[in-house]
Amino acid sequence: MVLEGDGTAVTAPGQFIDIKLDGRYLRRPISVHDADEGSITIIYKVLGHGTDDMTRYEPGKPLDVLAGCGNGFWMPTGKETPLLIGGGVGIPPLYLLAKKLIAAGRKPQAVLGFNSKEDAFCIEEFRALGCTVTAASADGSIGTKGFVTDALPAPDTYDCFYTCGPLPMLRALDAAIPAGIPGQFSFEERMGCGFGACMGCTIPVKGGYKRICKDGPVLAREEILWEK
């Protein structure tokens, strides 16, 4: 879905927008796929009533949106060669990240995981940016058969990583990637407000706790507490 309007409130890749839907009480947080001065693009999956409603929205319909929510991914500091790992609906925010990384002179490679070929999306868009893309699918219908962890490149080909996807995938990646490599993980959680007021999405981290909507959704690898 492409939203027309000022996209400059989105200041970092990995941020989300919080959309008010007709007849639904709470806003829906959806990650930003792409943004510029005149538009914000989102790619969403129908998971509940709200996203189902959105499929019936006609072009031109005005939407009440809070844009630029959350911290987003931060850029690497040196000359790193980043690896981007996305699973399903976790892939869209990595697209804007890839764009920014390439604009900053980095050469990111991407591993994108899907359930099967018919769910696959965005692969060509990443390639068009200049990313090396490896796909993985649970049923083997596209790319490597298995999960993203089965398609990871050799650890000496990247020195930092960014990831977004379902929690089991994030957990598996933390276990699979050598401990010395810094990473940024984007988390998903049920939210109340989406801007840090209600404490509805707080999780414990090393040395305290963080609101996924305001202090996240992106957490640094070293601060994450995996045991739940």
CB of 66 closer than 8 Å to CB of 18 = yes
128, exposed or middle or buried, with CB in 10 Å at 0-12, 13-18, 19+? Answer: exposed
Q: Give the β-pairing of 28-31 and 144-145.
A: unpaired
Binding to other proteins in span 86-145, by CB under 8 A: none
Is residue 219 involved in binding other proteins (CB under 8 A)? Answer: no
228, exposed or middle or buried, with CB in 10 Å at 0-12, 13-18, 19+? Answer: exposed
Among 33-41, 130-138, 143-151, 203-211, the segment contacting other proteins (CB under 8 A): 203-211
Residue 24: CB minimum distance to other proteins, A: 7
Residue 190, CA atoms < 13 Å, CB-side half-sphere: 4
Among 35-43, 148-156, 169-177, 187-195, the segment contacting other proteins (CB under 8 A): 187-195
Among 75-83, 128-136, 147-155, 190-198, the segment contacting other proteins (CB under 8 A): 190-198
Is residue 168 involved in binding other proteins (CB under 8 A)? Answer: no
Q: Which of 193, 218, 219, 224 binds other proteins (CB under 8 A)?
A: 193
Query: To which residue do tokens 């900053």 refer?
Result: 104
Binding to other proteins in span 37-96, by CB under 8 A: 64, 66
Residue 63: CB minimum distance to other proteins, A: 14
* Rg from Cα positions in the chain: 17
Residue 209: CB minimum distance to other proteins, A: 5
Residue 200: CB minimum distance to other proteins, A: 4
Structure tokens at 120: 């696959």
